[in-house]
Amino acid sequence: MSDIRVLTDDTFAGAVASGAVVVDFYADWCRPCKMMAPAFEEAAGEYEGKVEFAKLNIDDSRDTALANQVMSIPTLLFYKDGELKDRVTGAIDKGTLKSHLDALL
């Protein structure tokens, strides 16, 4: 399975600057985030080499969450070469996630 990179306020901008990247904004206490985690992890393995998968804990990196207007979690942000291309708020299933990833590519 592909590694899912853990981002912080300091590493976020560099991580999304190039290529296709999906960032999961989450919190450890968030039940819907935990429900969606297996689908995110499976998709990371399936899209290895095509899309970079990353997670950002909103409790640890509030500045980045606020700068990206993340008001509810989980929120997935889809970037292509530093540009925000798509956003999904709320837990989604693997099929829906794959649809968004395919559109990103």
Q: Which residues are catalytic?
A: 30, 33
Q: How far apart are CA 85 and CA 7, in angstroms?
A: 19
Handedness of CA 10, 49, 43, 88 (dihedral sign): positive
Q: Is beta strand 83-89 parallel, antiparallel or unpaired with respect to 75-80? A: antiparallel
Note whether 101 and 51 are within 8 A (CB).
yes
